[in-house]
Amino acid sequence: MRTLFLLLVIVFASCKNDRKISEVKKPKLGVVVDSAMVVSARAEASRIGLNIMKEKGGNAFDAMIATEFALAVVFPYAGNLGGGGFMVYRTQYGEVGALDYREKAPMAATKDMYLDDNGNFISNKSKTGSLAVGVPGTVAGMFAVHERHGSLPMEEIIAPVIKLAAEGYYLTAAQAKRYNKYAPIFEEVNDSKSIYSNEWKENDLFVNTALAETFKRIAVNGRQEFYQGKTADILVNFLSSKKGIITKKDLSNYEAVWREPVIFNYKDLKIISMAPPSSGGICLAQILNAVEEFPIAAYGHNQPRSMQVIIEASRRAYADRSHFLGDPDFVEIPVDSLISPNYLKGRMQEFSFDQATTSTAISNGTPFGQESTETTHYSIVDSFGNAIAATTTLNAAFGSKVYSNELGFFFNNEMDDFSAKPGEPNMFGLIGGEANAIEPQKRMLSSMTPTIVEKNGEFWMSVGSPGGSQIITSVMQTILNVYEYDMTMQDAVNAPRFHHQWLPDEVMVENYGFDEDVLKTLTSKGYQINYNDAPVIGKVDAILRKPNGSLEGGADHRGDDTAVGF
C-alpha cells in the first residue's frame, strides 16, 4: 500500500513537471533560405511545391496548386479532392486577395436534416457517412487560382502529383499508425475494404493507383472533369448508392468565389486574413484588437495576465462568432462594426484581472451600425515576392470516412460545420445560431484562418493552422509569439498553446510547457483549466521574412510538417 502511495506521488510529481516551463532555452531557428519556401504537413508535398518554383520556374500560385494536390495524395487525413478550403495571398506588387473554395450544402439539404422526428439532433448523421458530405470545392479552387494567377500549364503542375500517387510515398510512423487505427472505421462506414485496410508500418510504400487515374483525367480534361465529366458521374453514382444527396446539378453549379479579405492593424502590423464564410479573419481581428489595449509583452509569455487578456478577448469573439457569422451570400454580416476598435473596447469593459468573466454573462455584443480537428495548412513564398497562406480540409480526420475505391479519395463531413440545431454543439463544441443554419447551396461557417501579415508595407509572415475552432487562437498566439515575445518562427509555432471559445467555458491548455503556478493562479480567479482534452492545439505552418530578407520556416513539431526552400 505504502509502495503504491509512493508510486502515485512519483507519477503525480512527474505529470506536474510535464506542465512546467523548461529552463530558458536557446532560440531554435527553423529552416532559413534566401528566396523561396514551402511549409506543409508533409515533406513530399513541400518538395513538390518547391520544385515547381525551383525547377520549373513557376510562381507561388503554381506551387500552391501542386502542394494542395500533393497533400491530397500524401496526407489524406486532411489533404483532399473531396473537401474544400480558403486561400489568402499577397502578390509581389502588394495586391492582396482571398479565395473561397469552401464546400456547399447540396440543393436537397434541409434545415432539419440531422434532426429526428422529435427534433433531437442526431449528431453522428452530420459527421459520418454520405449525408455528411458537402459539395467539394478543392478542384474548382485550384482551377480558379490557375486561371487568375498561374504561370505554368496545369498538366505540368499536376504531373508530379500523378507520379506521387502512382509510384507511392513512404509512410511515416505516425501515418502508418493512423491508417491502422482508422481502417476498421473505414470498413464499417464503407462496407468494403480499401487500400487502407492493409496492416501498415513505417517506411511502407503506399501507392494509390485510383487517385493517380483521377488526377490524370483532371490534367487532361480540366476543371469540368470533376464537376461534369466521368469523375462527376462516378462521384454522384457512388454517393447515391450510399444514400447521399449530392447530384450532378450540385456539382455543375459549384463555383469557387474570390472574396475581399478581412484587413486590420495590430500596432504597426497590417493583417490580411480570411473573410466569411470563414470566421477566421473577423475573430482574429476581434481578439487582436482587444489584446492591443494591454501591455502583454510586459506581462510575459503564457503568464496569468497575458493569458487572461487573451482568454477574455477570445471568449467575447467566439460569442459574436456564434451569433453573427455565416455564409455572406445568405446572411448580412456587420464586418466593419464587428472589428471596429470602439466596439471592441466596449466589449472588454467588464473585464477585470481579479476574476474570470463567466460565459453565461457574455452573449453576442451589439456592434454599432449593425444592420467564428482536422484540416491542414501550408504557407508558400516565391522568389518573385508572392506569398500564399492556404488552409484546406475534409473537416474531421478523413472527413466523413466515406472513401471511393474507384476515385481514390475520401469525402468531407463539412455539413457538421453548420449549426444543425440552435444550442447544440458541433464536433468542435461550437454553438451556432440562425446565421449558420443549413440552407440549400449555402456554405457552412468555418474557422480556417489563412493569414498574411505585412510590416512596414512589406510581406512579413504567412501563417495558418488546422484544429477546427482552435485554428483562430493558434494563429493569433503564433503572431503574438513573434511580434510581442521576439520568438523565432520555429519557436513561435512550437510554443505551448491555450484556447478559449466562449462555450464550453473552459481554458484548454496543451499538457506541456505551462507553469503549474500560472495555472493555479488562473484557477484561483475562476478559470476552469482543461489539460486533458487537448493534447495538441493547432499545428501551425508559417514563414517569416527576417530583417535581412531571408525566410525562416516554422514547421510545427506537433506533426510531420516540413519546411523546404532555396
Binding positions for ligand GLY, rule: CB under 6 A: 375, 393, 395, 414, 417, 446-448, 468
Q: Which is nearer to ligand GLY, 154 or 397 (CB)?
A: 397
Q: Which is nearer to ligand GLY, 375 or 477 (CB)?
A: 375
Q: Which is nearer to ligand GLY, 171 or 463 (CB)?
A: 463
Q: Which is nearer to ligand GLY, 447 or 501 (CB)?
A: 447
Catalytic site residue from 91, 375, 451, 478: 375
Give the shortest CB-100-to-ligand GLY separation in angstroms: 11
Q: Which residues are bridge partners to 37 per DSSP?
A: 381, 565
Q: Which is nearer to ligand GLY, 30 or 84 (CB)?
A: 84
Alpha-carbon distance of 304 to 218, in angstroms, equals: 53
Q: Which is nearer to ligand GLY, 383 or 447 (CB)?
A: 447
| Residue 262: its H or E element | strand 262-266
The yes-or-no answer on residue 375 being catalytic is yes
Structural contact between residues 450 and 99, judged by C-beta atoms closer than 8 angstroms: no
Q: Which is nearer to ligand GLY, 141 or 468 (CB)?
A: 468
Q: Which residues are bridge partners to 553 per DSSP?
A: 543
Give the shortest CB-430-to-ligand GLY separation in angstroms: 8
Which three cell numbers, joined as nine digits, stand for 218?
483532371
Q: Which is nearer to ligand GLY, 134 or 304 (CB)?
A: 134
Alpha-carbon distance of 343 to 336, in angstroms, equals: 10
Alpha-carbon distance of 353 to 366, in angstroms, equals: 24
Alpha-carbon distance of 470 to 566, in angstroms, equals: 32
Please give the residue whose beta carbon sits closest to ligand GLY in the complex. 446
Give the shortest CB-234-to-ligand GLY separation in angstroms: 25
Structural contact between residues 378 and 49, judged by C-beta atoms closer than 8 angstroms: yes
Structural contact between residues 406 and 97, judged by C-beta atoms closer than 8 angstroms: no
Give the shortest CB-529-to-ligand GLY separation in angstroms: 24
Residue 248 CB-density burial (10 A; 0-12 exposed, 13-18 middle, 19+ buried): middle
Give the shortest CB-338-to-ligand GLY separation in angstroms: 18
Residue type, 144: A
Strand-by-strand arrangement of the 529-530 sheet: 498-499, 507-509, 529-530
Handedness of CA 340, 495, 472, 79 (dihedral sign): positive
Give the shortest CB-415-to-ligand GLY separation in angstroms: 10
Give the shortest CB-432-to-ligand GLY separation in angstroms: 12
Give the shortest CB-87-to-ligand GLY separation in angstroms: 13
Q: What is the residue-wise DSSP string for 173-232? A: HHHHHHHHHHHHHHHHHHTS--GGGS---TT-EE--HHHHHHHHHHHHH-HHHHHTSHHH
| Residue 144: its H or E element | helix 138-149
Give me the numbers of helices (H) and strands (E) for the chain, helices first please: 18, 21
C-alpha distances out from residue 471 to 277, 298, 325, Å: 15, 25, 16
Active site residues per annotation? 375
